[in-house]
Amino acid sequence: MMLRIPQVLNEQQLGEFRQILLQARWMDGRATAGHQAVQVKDNLQLPVDLPEAKSLGQVILHALERNPVFVSAALPKRILAPRFNCYQGGQSYGLHVDNAVSGEAGGERIRTDLSATLFLTAPQEYEGGELLVEDTYGSHSVKLPAGDLILYPASSLHQVMPVTRGARIAAFFWIQSMVRDDGERTLLFQLDSSAQQLTREQGAGSAVATQLGGIYHNLLRRWAEV
């Protein structure tokens, strides 16, 4: 399942991010690429141990904790600390699949069930830079407003198209879900969304919404790894 989650960060947060990121010390993104990805990766990244990167990453993690759509869709067990990249001057990232396991040297390592990109620059500020994600239904082009996030299975083939004007800055990170299987996560998200909609329409005492909620939790109990 691919899912757009709007306004993960607000305008004030985006302004603060922009001020910090424009003054940050970027490095060649190929330094963090594996032996296959290095052949197709051409971008800039913030060093993961940079204090600014850690601080901004914490802001994102706190925002995600308070976002009910993200929590319902991802069912996060662990989230790897967000990283930051920048594409400019024709830079791109060719077709690839993210590593199945990711983490920092000597630090936490997670199984990457889901990938997430949080856009930090507005689409009109740059040309190109679309995130193309391949799935069984074809290729999906993603270029979102600043503050919006795209969530998709980490097993997907994907790429970032060349940025021919301006700069595309984003945060990216991976999630290990309590529910490993994408199909099961999708069913749970749809069921949770339906139960919540019924509750809004019929009130908290709705018998049907209560029944759907019970089915949701029984399926989650069956599938979750905690």
Structure confidence by residue, pLDDT tens digits, 67-93:
999 999 999 999 999 999 999 999 999
Residue range(s) defining the domain that contains residue 120: 3-177
Same domain, 172 and 193: no
* 119 shares a domain with 52: yes
Q: Are residues 192 and 141 in the same domain?
A: no
The string of pLDDT tens digits covering residues 102-152 is 987 667 899 999 999 999 999 999 999 999 999 888 999 999 999 999 999
pLDDT of 191-213, one tens digit each?
A: 999 999 999 999 888 899 999 99
Whether 104 and 216 map to the same domain: the answer is no
- Give the pTM: 0.95
Residue reference for tokens 């019924």: 198
What gap in Å lies between CA 193 and CA 195, rounded to an integer?
Answer: 6
- pLDDT tens string 61-72: 999 999 999 999
The enclosing domain of 205 has a CATH number of 4.10.860
